[in-house]
Amino acid sequence: KAGVTQTPRYLIKTRGQQVTLSCSPISGHRSVSWYQQTPGQGLQFLFEYFSETQRNKGNFPGRFSGRQFSNSRSEMNVSTLELGDSALYLCASSQGLAPPGETQYFGPGTRLLVL
């Protein structure tokens, strides 16, 4: 079974631009979560989607948004990019039926650099 895939793997943007990252979960998984990883703040939860609905949200500004499609693929968008948005963005999928002890499977991440 294919793992979680994320595209693109690397991205360079400039301040003020917006960016869209994509995540395809493991087949059959209906929950997709997004995390931001930075050297200073570590791994922080952004949001989780299940069956096209946002089920939980972390403490990030409204510039960070996401959505999930009927095939469970998810996108996250960051508008008006700031230098501090430079990070590794990780997507994780799970079946979503029995959280929170359910295992989340992570993709390789998208590394975003904001100049």
Partner 1 sequence: AQSVTQLDSQVPVFEEAPVELRCNYSSSVSVYLFWYVQYPNQGLQLLLKYLSGSTLVKGINGFEAEFNKSQTSFHLRKPSVHISDTAEYFCAVSYQGAQKLVFGQGTRLTINP
Residue 64 to residue 3: CA distance in whole angstroms:
25
Instruction: Give, in order, the Cα–Cα distances in Å from 12 to each of 23, 38, 53.
Output: 18, 16, 29
Cis ω for the linkage preceding 8 (within 30 of 0): yes
How many Cα neighbours within 13 Å face the side chain of 4? Answer: 27
Which residue's CB is nearer to partner 1, number 18 or number 27?
Answer: 27
Stretch of 11-19, 27-35, 61-69, 74-82 lying at the interface with partner 1 (CB under 8 A):
27-35
Residue 32 engages partner 1 in binding (rule: CB under 8 A): no
Stretch of 14-22, 69-77, 78-86, 92-100 lying at the interface with partner 1 (CB under 8 A):
92-100
Residues 45 to 74 in contact with partner 1, rule: CB under 8 A: 45, 48, 50, 55-56, 58
- Minimum CB–partner distance for residue 28 and partner 1 (Å): 17
Stretch of 13-21, 66-74, 77-85, 93-101 lying at the interface with partner 1 (CB under 8 A):
93-101
Size of the site for partner 1 (CB under 8 A): 25
Q: Which residues of 32-67 are buried (b: 16+ CB within 10 A; e: fewer)?
A: bbbbbeeeeeeeeebbbbbeeeeeeeeebeeebbbe
Residue 35 engages partner 1 in binding (rule: CB under 8 A): yes
